[in-house]
């Protein structure tokens, strides 16, 4: 019986040892970290545009993102539950970042 995790594991080559696993993970991290940094940049832009703490958390947007990434995970043979958990945790961190950016922008932006 095949699981989602088994199918996702089929997307990578068979590793012969932990060194090979680690090289693969490191290569993915090299691709993922710049994307996460770019996503943080968009959260800074969101803070600048929203300029109101009450607008930072958007439950409808969170639900839409979760639904979207679950579909992507399913299409890619991944585990939608795992992807949802990762995204929910990541979004909470980015929401915190957005609040911090909003506070920082308030301190550095002169009021008219």
* Predicted structure pTM score: 0.82
Q: Which of 7-11, 78-82, 107-111 has the lowest mean pLDDT?
A: 7-11
Q: How far apart are CA 27 and CA 12, in angstroms?
A: 12
pLDDT at 6 over 80: no
- What confidence score (pLDDT) does residue 2 get? 46
Percent of all residues in the chain with a pLDDT value above 90, rounded to a whole number: 80
Contact 43, 97 (CB under 8 A): yes
9-59 pLDDT, tens digit each = 557 889 999 999 999 999 999 999 999 999 999 999 999 999 899 999 999
H-state helical runs in the chain: 4-9, 18-50, 59-76, 80-108
Average of per-residue pLDDT across 76-84: 96
Domains annotated on the chain, with CATH: 16-108 (1.20.59.10)
Q: What average pLDDT is seen over the chain?
A: 90
User: Burial level of 40, CB count in 10 A (0-12/13-18/19+)?
Assistant: middle
Tokens standing for residue 83? 């992807």
Quickly tell me which residue has 């911090």 as its tokens: 100
Higher pLDDT, 65 or 112: 65
Q: Which residues contact 66 (CB under 8 A, 6 or more apart)?
A: 84, 87, 88
The span from the CA of 83 to the CA of 69, in Å, is 7
């Amino acid at each position: 019986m095949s699981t989602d995790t088994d199918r996702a594991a089929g997307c990578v080559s068979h590793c012969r040892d932990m060194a090979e696993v680690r090289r693969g993970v490191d290569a993915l991290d090299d691709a993922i970290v710049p994307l996460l940094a770019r996503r943080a940049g968009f959260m800074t832009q969101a803070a600048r545009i929203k300029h109101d703490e009450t607008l930072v958390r958007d439950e409808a947007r969170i639900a839409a993102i979760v639904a979207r990434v679950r579909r992507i995970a399913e299409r890619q043979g991944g585990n939608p539950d795992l992807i949802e958990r990762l995204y929910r945790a990541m979004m909470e961190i980015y929401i915190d970042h957005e609040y911090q950016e909003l506070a920082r922008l308030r301190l550095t932006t002169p009021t008219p």
